Amino acid sequence: MKRLAVALAAVLTLAACGDGAGGGRPDAGTLTEIDYYEAAPQNTQLPKILDECAAQTGVKIEHQQVPRAQFMPKLLQQASSRSLPDLALVDNPDLPQLAATGGLVPLKDLPTEGLYPSIVAAGKYKGDTYGIAPGVNGLALYYNQDLFTQAGLQPPKTWDELTAAAKALTKGNRYGVAFSAVGTEEGSFQFEPFFWTAGASLSKLDSPEAVRALSLWQDLVQAKAASKSVVTWTQADVNDQFMAGNAAMMVNGPWQLPTLDKKADLKFGIVPIPIPAPTAKPVTPLGGEMWTVGHSDPQREAKALAVLKCLLGPDKSLEWSKDAGYIPSNQAAARQLAQGDPRLAAFVEEVATAQARTAELGTAYPKASEALFNAIQACLAGGKSPEEALKAAQASLG
């Protein structure tokens, strides 16, 4: 889940910025596309993949990259005047906000056979599909294989095993486990696998299941099996700690693999997020972006849908995901990716039971997420009990 350090509240503001709406569209042989990858590794391959799909469709693509903080304000301004680009790649939590404007084309005629149902469901708003991801990311548990071998331990599958392993592997300056509990959407994203797997719901932040999940994190910090600094660590910081040998395990995503692979002497494995009981299934949040089609005229919309169909095919889905460090939305392509790199098998396994962050609350998600990461901070840094912190979070939602 990249770029989540940017506060969602800022991203979702309605303030206008940039060159705004209007300006007309190019001729029907050229489609417009917008994304926020101007400074991201994916930007090196995205135009290439788009242009290849455009060539198959008989059109050209006019690319535009916008800084992340300006991206949604710009799109919302364009949506208000029905001048959205033909194709836009949006962060999946932003989809409900954009779909609510009425500026997106429902993707009713786009075939979704072979795609993960969980990913298709993530693109829905009020029953209709408005966005489809070419690939997604999520969270799993990385572990240092050498340290586990030396301690005679197996990778944890349950919360009890996670706690026991974290305590056993804590020694000197090394903590047993690292995760990001920072006071942003990034902290919520990292906590949601534990929160949802426990059976908690964003509509009731102070449920017994939610308290149980936050108690797990509190227990790890209080036992010094996790650093108190988790409240300030981003996911990049967590990865740095793991690479430096300061954490025996970490919660992180597949996008960290290229960085980890640069450290040749680090041997690590990846397993699904531990679950509270052997019968539970990990429910991780879907990270990543979705393609959307803006309303224009039937001819342009049909061409944009044809390009999107190409982008979602097994070949392009696999190519995109390899470049971005994601898991393909196409199930066959995901299996192929896992066969080529078994380290990704845990992420592939989790996609089937993953869910969109906005699945429960839609456009109300950012407010609940803020309440949740504030509760995590209040508990781990502010000294409140999980019950007190989550009760205050629920109260803040009104």
Compute the Cα dihedral for 262, 264, 269, 273 and give only its sign: negative
> Residue 23 pLDDT > 50, yes or no?
no
Q: Of 37-51, 237-251, 318-332, which range is least confident?
A: 37-51
* CA separation, residue 41 to residues 60, 299, 357 (Å): 23, 33, 24
What per-residue confidence (pLDDT) applies to 269? 97
Mean pLDDT (whole number) for 232-241: 98
On average, the pLDDT of the chain sits at 90
pTM of the predicted model as reported, rounded to 2 decimal places: 0.87
Q: Look-up: residue for tokens 């290229």? A: 258
Compute the chain's Rg from CA coordinates: 21
Q: What is the pLDDT of residue 320?
A: 86
pLDDT greater than 80 at residue 197: yes
* Contact by Cβ (8 Å): 300, 31: yes
Give me the mean pLDDT over the 101-115 stretch.
93
- Cα–Cα dist 310/317, whole Å: 9
Cα–Cα distance for residue pair 226/241, rounded to 1 Å: 11
Instruction: Please state the rounded mean pLDDT for residues 354-361.
Output: 92
What angle is formed at CA 325 by the lines to CA 231 and CA 336, rounded to 5 degrees? 135
User: Using 50, 70 and 90 to split pLDDT, how confident is the model at 43?
Assistant: low
pLDDT digits (tens, 9 = 90+) for 44-103: 678 899 999 999 999 999 999 999 889 999 999 999 888 999 999 999 999 999 999 999
248 vs 258: CA distance, rounded Å: 19
Q: Are 310 and 118 in contact, with CB atoms under 8 Å apart?
A: no
pLDDT band for 15, please (50, 70, 90 cuts).
Answer: very low
Domains located in the chain, CATH noted: 8-137+287-351 (3.40.190.10), 140-284+361-396 (3.40.190.10)
